[in-house]
Amino acid sequence: MHIVVVGAGEVGYHVAERLSNQQHDVVVVDVEPQRLEYVANHLDVAVVEGSGTSTGVLEEAGIRNAGLLLAVTNVDEVNLVSCMSARGVPGIFKVARVSNPDFYRDARNLKPDAFGVDMLINPERELALETMRLLHSTAATDIAVFAGGAVQLLGFTVTSEAPIAGRRLVDIASEEGDRPLLTVAIEREGDTIVPDGATKIVSGDHLYVAATEEEIPRALELLGYEASPMRRVMITGGSTEAFYLASLLSQHRVQVTMLVPERQRAQELAEKLEKVLVLHGDATDVELLELEGVSGADGFVALTDADETNILSSLVAKHAGVKRVLTLVNKKDYVPLASRIGLDAAVSPRLSAANAILRYVRRGTVTRVATFKGSDAEAIAFEVTSASPLVGKRLAEANFPSGAIVAAIVRGTEVIVPRGNDDLRAGDTTIVFVLPDAVADVTALFPS
């Protein structure tokens, strides 16, 4: 598919990288020549300098032949006008990144017949939702939710005290019996592998585990973690992500304190967030953090616009004894750094945007796509139709592509974390964990 990406920032770069790796024909448009030079030097994509609001620039980018326009700059108005400029192109699907809560609330006014937008994505709100789930999941570094939360795919780091450390997966499975838990992948020394029964878990491994919601406490036990409730959370920063997260947490009766460095922004948030304590102050001020009781918080989330400030304030919170510390990271190179220096998890707007976009690139039987920090792997939910060659076959006999594993099957109201004897049936939804090289082969198994 020919795809035009307007915006070469962190979100645009990451989305273009994913799409290019999947053999799509990608053109990136931006007004900043330095950004385009970086994109051209690091990705196998074409670039066009200019504004995505210009029909001439879009024409140069091949908009007439495109099946998808992704307008993902940091400016909502540019994204909306870019979609409007492509409104007359037949058969194109237009996606706009919109972060302003007022725009997002009035999404009904941005429909194709009025403004040319087919889909709105809000990475900041999606990031807030992911952050809230990570706060409540106690130990997970990644989380992807399917079937309304009935199936979860979580990333965990194996500690030296974990009961499963040093053991083979086949032995763990034998001891656990029919519990719906499945290790679908392991990150080890920079590589992601899809394991088999003979694979041994090693301390320091990063596991991706598929589980039903009810089995997550048992997964935590096996990995050596304890569940703990979130009653009080401190958030630093006055970003859009911070606003969304504070709103969500307060709606779930979590006591929230926000520390905002800009006085005017602090006042604005205090007026909008009636149930949140909003304070004006510097997130890197150790004395202020201690004065406001950071050590007594169950969770700490750094959501300023500066990665370095987020990492520094998170380290202070971790040193103070906060149980769960999450850090917003925009720069790709900083994502693995967060875990190396002892922080619990990093969250990223670019990944939130990619998760929202990729499903619409592969429409058809794909109902959801989730990507993961520090890995090129994806979790893809497919609708199983009668045309699939897998229908009626046991998974052990299905000759599934190397580099992919069925993580879960949703059959009506039943959730199955599968074993080799389980089969796929027309009407099922199946969640597949897949490495990049296997995406095309797996997708071919689930035709419309």
pLDDT of 23-33, one tens digit each?
889 999 999 99
Q: Are 51 and 78 in contact (CB under 8 A)?
A: yes
pLDDT at position 73? 93
pLDDT at position 276? 92
Among the ranges given (162-166, 221-225, 311-315), the one the predictor scored with the smallest mean pLDDT: 221-225
- Residue 34 phi/psi, 5-degree rounding, is -65, -40
Q: All domains of the chain, ordered by start, with CATH?
A: 2-121 (3.40.50.720), 151-222 (3.30.70.1450), 230-322 (3.40.50.720)
Residue 185 has pLDDT above 90, yes or no: no
pLDDT at position 264? 93
Mean of the per-residue pLDDT values for the chain?
A: 85
pTM listed for this prediction: 0.70
Among the ranges given (8-12, 70-74, 78-82), the one the predictor scored with the smallest mean pLDDT: 8-12
pLDDT at position 362? 58
pLDDT at position 387? 92
pLDDT at position 109? 59
Judged on CB neighbours under 10 Å (0-12, 13-18, 19+), 205 is buried
Contacts of residue 238, defined as CB under 8 A and 6 or more positions apart, other chains included, come to 258, 260, 261, 262, 265, 266, 268, 269, 304
Q: Are 179 and 142 in contact (CB under 8 A)?
A: no
b/e sequence 297-311, b meaning 16+ C-beta within 10 Å: bbbbbbbbebbebbb
The pLDDT-based confidence of 48 (bands split at 50, 70, 90) is very high
pLDDT in tens, 354-411: 766 766 665 567 777 777 776 678 888 899 999 999 998 888 888 888 888 998 999 8
Tokens of 350: 């670019």
Tokens of 252: 């779930």
More confident: 136 or 231: 231
Among the ranges given (92-96, 188-192, 209-213, 277-281), the one the predictor scored with the smallest mean pLDDT: 188-192
Residue 112 has pLDDT above 60, yes or no: no
More confident: 101 or 262: 262
pLDDT at position 110? 60
